[in-house]
Chains A and B, each alone.
Chain A
Amino acid sequence: DGGITQSPKYLFRKEGQNVTLSCEQNLNHDAMYWYRQDPGQGLRLIYYSQIVNDFQKGDIAEGYSVSREKKESFPLTVTSAQKNPTAFYLCASSIGARGLAGAYEQYFGPGTRLTVT
């Protein structure tokens, strides 16, 4: 079954703890993205990676870190420095970051709902 997966679906953590969210894809996509979604808000870009061993900050990268050691995997760590970590986190992937006609379609994973108390 091809696609993009995220685990776990729900995650609970105490304040002050770092937590890592998993994102895996078997679509052979080069580009991967992390977005955050808050109630009543659109999705906001945290980090993105166009290729293995390379990643860039998005609009709200503070308090987050990522790695891209393998093409299939793009884990996101929510650190204790993130002031409001409770949110729905969505990972996405696309064939590449951009082509001649602009961006490629992004496919989303099912999301991880993180609650920090």
Chain B
Amino acid sequence: GENVEQHPSTLSVQEGDSAVIKCTYSDSASNYFPWYKQELGKRPQLIIDIRSNVGEKKDQRIAVTLNKTAKHFSLHITETQPEDSAVYFCAAYSGGGADGLTFGKGTHLIIQP
């Protein structure tokens, strides 16, 4: 089955700086890669996703890049703000076997004032 590795587990950046979170996946058939943001005790919320037919997608301060050859994808947050503090999860969907998403273990992003 699919396996998703996520790094780092904790990331601390100064407010206004950029943050980058990286994920690798194992199944070359995976074709959908969402990123979720989860605040303490709350539900995960989709912030951006990318499909395997594109290499990059942007939405204001958030961008995701995908390298299918290397089987890795990254989340980029620019001009970080205190409300960006949360746990971020990457996920991959391969469609083979179970139809749910395979998640990374999460990155705790801390924005220092």
Q: A105 contacts B34, CB within 8 Å? A: yes
Interface digits, B84-96 against A, CB 8 Å rule (1 contact, 0 not)?
Answer: 0000010101010
Q: Smallest CB–CB gap between A24 and chain B, Å?
A: 14
User: A42-B4, A108-B45 given as contacts; is B100 within 8 A of A35 (CB)?
Assistant: yes
On chain B, the number of residues with a Cβ less than 8 Å from chain A's Cβ atoms is 30
Q: Does B55 contact A (CB under 8 A)?
A: no
B-to-A contact residues, CB < 8 Å: 1, 4, 6, 9, 31-32, 34, 36, 42-46, 49, 51-53, 89, 91, 93, 95, 98-106
Q: A111 contacts B46, CB within 8 Å? A: no
A107→B46 CA distance, assembly (Å): 8
A66→B31 CA distance, assembly (Å): 28
Q: B104 contacts A102, CB within 8 Å? A: no
**CB nearest to A106 among chain B residues:** B101
Q: A98 contacts B43, CB within 8 Å? A: no
Q: Which residues of A contact B9 (CB under 8 A)?
A: 40
A78→B1 CA distance, assembly (Å): 24
Which residue of B44, B95, B98, B105 is within 8 Å of A58 (Cβ)?
Answer: B98
Q: A42 contacts B6, CB within 8 Å? A: yes
The residue among B43, B49, B106 with the most chain A CB atoms within 10 A of its own CB is B43
**CB nearest to A57 among chain B residues:** B98
Q: Which residues of B contact A68 (CB under 8 A)?
A: none
Which residue of A42, A57, A107 is within 8 Å of B106 (Cβ)?
Answer: A42
**CB nearest to A90 among chain B residues:** B43
Which residue of B49, B52, B95, B98 is within 8 Å of A105 (Cβ)?
Answer: B49
Q: Does A41 contact B (CB under 8 A)?
A: yes
Q: A101 contacts B44, CB within 8 Å? A: no
Q: A40 contacts B98, CB within 8 Å? A: no
**CB nearest to A6 among chain B residues:** B43
The 6 lowest CB-CB distance pairs between A and B, nearest first, are A42-B103, A45-B100, A102-B32, A103-B93, A102-B31, A108-B43
Q: 26 pairs across A/B with beta carbons < 8 Å? A: A33-B100, A40-B9, A42-B103, A43-B44, A48-B98, A48-B99, A56-B98, A57-B98, A59-B102, A90-B43, A90-B44, A98-B99, A101-B31, A101-B51, A102-B51, A102-B52, A102-B95, A103-B31, A105-B34, A105-B46, A106-B34, A108-B36, A108-B44, A108-B45, A110-B42, A111-B42
